[in-house]
Chains A and B, each alone.
Chain A
């Protein structure tokens, strides 16, 4: 059983990384790493506003402006840890956590559907390997593909920036796990719908839609409903119950819609909170604790439990579906 599991994982990972998209992705990852070998920092003052910020140069030509000011406290020089953390967060949240996950979905979307294809499914299922193991190995292979690509970007850039800036913070590498965890939920949802709909395209479209829906619920709660509730609570505290009736959308925030969003918020995975985890890993715990809004919305236990629950439910249903399916 274990040999079969490893066999399928190796087969899928090898096939994906040696494929055209895999090679192109690896090349793109290596380009990002190479760029990190040419990182330089400038201190820039914007003429119009007089605001100071840092500029990152890559090999002297390409630049990224408006990076948080990387000046040491005494003002004498640059603080490379700021640039290091900023680059780590940007790479983990955007390059790996967004682009990387999309590429991962494209690379792995056909795993379960091609495993169910006629001429292929017989070759696997006629062997003494339990069907749930087939599902889990296809799933694990997807995680490994994304893990390898993320590790190349994050590990390579960590090494390059370590050489360039002299910063070797291990927290920089933690987002590898966070990105894989993020992909784990997305791909479990994708796999479930690809199995249900028997089409690989569903393994890309549904997870993207699902992630967007989760993000919308989060934003609705964090940036819309919660501030209204706070306003209502503070007014009522000051002036007594019913005094906040004039606050726009108060009934919506406090009523059924608000409660529904609250329930969805607890139940659904929390995409933007994964970015908070990345921030925590790259900048340190203080980065969350210093920001009141972040601190309030950040609940690692809930992130982990709701994500794990989704993962287990989706994978469990996938295993059951595949187990009872007739080919």
Chain B
């Protein structure tokens, strides 16, 4: 039986009130993340992603609904014990060395002195910072700071890791390393709650995704569910005729013109209809040079989900 790592049940958050303007940052969202999953929370600026994470960490209180972490109410000490968090722009202790900074965060997580030393050394090596472990964090580059930020979240080996834009400021190699780290964590059974703008990254890592817009979940599910909407193919032909094109329009849901007369994009009801397309073309003696399935990208889903509305929701917690 799978265990629920994070559960938001009709979670609401309203900022302001009394005599000020109120902003409804979250409008009763429901999210369920199972243990061992990598979950991606997506959304444009001001969608309510930061508020959702803050509620998860207990940094602010819900107006309605509930949030739990492994069955514990979010924000309680027991719930926080199970979380490792990396904020979007962590302010790290610049006067401490990388090793000491991690030891400090280990102390805050309740690790013993020996554990702190061991874990700090281990994670410095793991994040490729072993050679600068004795240098002050203040001298680190942005990417190095980001790595320390990730290391401090993983130091106490939490079953749930919440990462806010973890690859921000990292070079392509660094990003790849973080992706590998995420897969490694997943393999170990750690749940990852990823808050990111980088759709490609989410697409490569996440098992489940939710798209948040103006405080509401507008699309959610596994990546397969989201991406497998319709079968779409790019056809490259030789000697295309109007009669063949007419036949295609009868078979396909939609036929779009390509860059040349011999290129078309067809959207079919099901993958099995490809055979009918090929048969129709061949019956008119049209040569087929290529049938390439078009895979929809998360970005397309994201833009679709927003319905062309790119206006910023905006609320006090939002900093995205």
Contact = CB atoms under 8 A, between A and B. Distances in A.
A3 interface: yes
B87 A8 contact: no
A168 B128 CA distance: 55
Contact of A4 (B88, B90, B107, B319): B107
B77 A122 contact: no
A122 B59 contact: yes
B59 A125 contact: yes
A129 interface: yes
24 contacts: A4-B109, A4-B110, A7-B104, A10-B104, A14-B96, A15-B95, A117-B91, A118-B89, A119-B90, A120-B90, A123-B105, A123-B152, A125-B57, A126-B57, A126-B80, A126-B83, A126-B85, A126-B162, A127-B80, A127-B108, A127-B109, A127-B110, A128-B80, A326-B59
Contacts of B93: 11, 15
B280 interface: no
B107 A3 contact: yes
Interface in A8-35: 8, 10-11, 14-15, 18-19
A21 B54 CA distance: 35
A155 interface: no
Interface string B88-121: 1111110110000000110111111000000000
Nearest to B104: A11
Given A11-B93, A327-B54, 11 more contacts: A3-B112, A7-B104, A14-B96, A15-B93, A18-B95, A118-B319, A126-B59, A126-B85, A129-B108, A130-B77, A327-B60
Interface string A103-145: 0000000000010011111111111111000000000000000
A6 interface: yes
B219 interface: no
Given A3-B112, A126-B83, A127-B80, A119 B107 contact: no
A122 B104 contact: no
B197 interface: no
Interface in A198-234: none
B175 interface: no
Contacts of A7: 104, 107-108
A119 B109 contact: no
Nearest to A19: B95
Taking chain A's interface residues, is the majority helix, strand, or loop, or is none over half, making it mixed?
helix
B179 interface: no
Nearest to B103: A7
Contacts of A127: 80, 105, 108-110
A122 B110 contact: no
Interface residues of B, number: 32
Among A1, A114, A119, A130, residue most surrounded by chain B Cβ atoms (within 10 Å): A119
B245 interface: no
A124 B104 CA distance: 10
A206 to B, nearest CB: 25
B233 to A, nearest CB: 46
Given A14-B95, A18-B95, A124 B108 contact: yes
Contacts of A327: 54, 59-60
A123 B107 contact: no
Nearest to A134: B108
B317 to A, nearest CB: 8
Contacts of A11: 93, 96, 104
B284 to A, nearest CB: 64
Among B57, B61, B105, B110, residue most surrounded by chain A Cβ atoms (within 10 Å): B110
Contact of A120 (B58, B80, B91, B104): B91
A4 B110 CA distance: 6
Contacts of B89: 118-119
Interface in A74-125: 114, 117-125
B319 A128 contact: no
Nearest to B77: A128
B35 interface: no
Contacts of A18: 95
Interface pairs A-B: 7 shortest CB-CB: A7-B107, A326-B60, A119-B91, A126-B85, A120-B91, A128-B81, A122-B87
Contacts of B95: 14-15, 18-19
A118 B54 CA distance: 11
Contacts of B107: 3-4, 6-7, 10
A326 B61 contact: yes
B111 A3 contact: yes
B60 A119 contact: no
Nearest to A18: B95
Among A3, A6, A10, A124, residue most surrounded by chain B Cβ atoms (within 10 Å): A3
Interface string B69-89: 000000001101101010111
Given A128-B80, A327-B59, A123 B54 contact: no
